[in-house]
Amino acid sequence: MTLRSLGYAYVNFQQQADAERALDTMNFNIIKGRPVRIMWSQRDPSLRKSGVGNIFIKNLDKSIDSKALYDTFSAFGNILSSKVMCDENGSKGYGFVHFETREAAERAIERLNGMLLNDRKVFIGHFKSRKEREAEMGARAKKFTNVYVKNFGEDMDDDKLKEIFSKFGQTLSTRVMTDESGKSKGFGFVNFERHEDAQRAVDEINGKELNGKQLYVARAQKKGERQTELKRKFEQMKQDGMTHYQGDNLYVKNLDDGLDDARLRKEFSPFGTITSAKVMMEGGRSKGFGFVCFSSPEEAATAMTEMNGRVVGTKPLYVALAQRKEERQAHLSNKYMKRMASVSAVRNPVLNPYQPAPPSG
């Protein structure tokens, strides 16, 4: 036993009124620099773990903290716990409230979903576990009708895109994404009437060349799906020992000669907060590569996935996680040593001492 505090405790009052007053007046008070969370003791762990009565609230104003969330929702029933999710920059704009009963959760959803809290429209629904969310996304993915297309040139427009894809079936809409000058950004969407037609378009056009560029065609994902997948990929990268990469810094190459710092920042800005964007120069001319640094690894991962292969100007970008110089040198050195070892093994094969040598002469 270490005798260290586990971070929680129980207080038993003689009178229920005293317990209620403590809950009302002390919940989320700061004690030794940390806000304490007070709730009725719930000895039945199955109630806490079942998820019954647990709701999810998103699009919260940054000023709403866990206490404000608790105060807002306590009118609908007894709350087991409430929490606004935060990072180093404060509220992440969403949180959870776990009611003791499903009925209380239903009342809160019915009364507050779509209402304004601090001038922001909030969205409230029953909390779903990751397993449930992934199952729902998987079911939707099997019946997709919206297709994402990327890596075509600046001359592509809505009509040309429709002409290419309409042979697979009836399209409801085609859209090439453009910049403020009206030029294609190298990607777009085609929405089919039937899932079977969308699937056939993906199967037959993905990987095919168009005007010397290899098209990428896949099921269009909603923002939430992309974020979930990116998070999973990012976690996998960490497990695979790639944490030595600077997770928030991207290396971008194959840049157009005329692309400067401002344009580089502008192209990557939709994916998060950029702390720096720099095109490397020599003698006043671009060296064809640069770096974009985001405020978080998750933002960088999103940008890397979305921008790698996208045409900016006249060239498809290559985007990857940046490495520090010493790490890159160590990585290259390791690859070189492995290659030399394999060459040496081919030139000087070692005979198995437990097998007879081939007959000489």
Instruction: Tell me which residue has tokens 């029953």.
Output: 126
**Contact in structure between 278 and 261 (CB atoms under 8 Å):** yes
pLDDT lower than 50: segments of the chain: 241-245, 327, 331, 345-346, 348-358, 360-361
pTM score, two decimals?
Answer: 0.43
3-state SS track over the chain: CCCCCCCCCCCCCCCHHHHHHHHHHHCCCEECCEECCCCCCCCCHHHHHHCCCEEEEECCCCCCCHHHHHHHHHHHCCEEEEEEEEECCEEEEEEEEEECCHHHHHHHHHHHCCCEECCEECEEEECCCHHHHHHHHHHHHCCCCEEEEECCCCCCCHHHHHHHHHHHCCEEEEEEEECCCCCEEEEEEEEECCHHHHHHHHHHHCCCEECCEECEEEECCCHHHHHHHHHHHHHHHHHCCCCCCCCCEEEEECCCCCCCHHHHHHHHHHHCCEEEEEEEEECCEEEEEEEEEECCHHHHHHHHHHHCCCEECCEECEEEECCCHHHHHHHHHHHHHHHHHHHHHHHCCCCCCCCCCCCCC
Beta bridge partners of 251: 291, 320
**Contact in structure between 105 and 99 (CB atoms under 8 Å):** yes
Instruction: Name the class of domain 142-219.
Output: alpha beta
pLDDT computed for residue 354 by the predictor: 39
pLDDT computed for residue 184 by the predictor: 86
Alpha carbons 109 and 97: distance in angstroms, whole number:
11
Domains of the chain: which residue ranges? 16-127, 142-219, 245-321
pLDDT computed for residue 111 by the predictor: 92
Domain pair 142-219 / 245-321, same fold:
yes
pLDDT computed for residue 49 by the predictor: 63
Count Cα neighbours of 270 within 13 Å in the Cβ-side half-sphere. 8
- pLDDT 10s digits, 21-72: 887 777 777 888 777 777 777 666 666 566 678 999 999 999 998 888 988 9
Instruction: Name the class of domain 16-127.
Output: alpha beta
**Contact in structure between 305 and 230 (CB atoms under 8 Å):** yes
pLDDT computed for residue 280 by the predictor: 93
Helical packing angle, 102-112 and 66-73, nearest 10°:
100
Instruction: Tell me which residue has tokens 């437990």.
Output: 354
Q: Exposure string (b/e) for 28-38, b if CB count within 10 Å is 16 or more?
A: beeeeeeeeee
Give the chain's length.
361
| Nearest Cα residue to 101 out of 57, 67, 139, 51 | 51
Alpha carbons 122 and 113: distance in angstroms, whole number:
6
Distance set, CA 292 to CA 94, 226, 250, 287, 326 (Å): 28, 21, 5, 15, 19
CATH topology of domain 245-321: Alpha-Beta Plaits (3.30.70)
Ramachandran angles phi, psi of 223, nearest 5°: -55, -45
Instruction: Tell me which residue has tokens 């002390």.
Output: 26
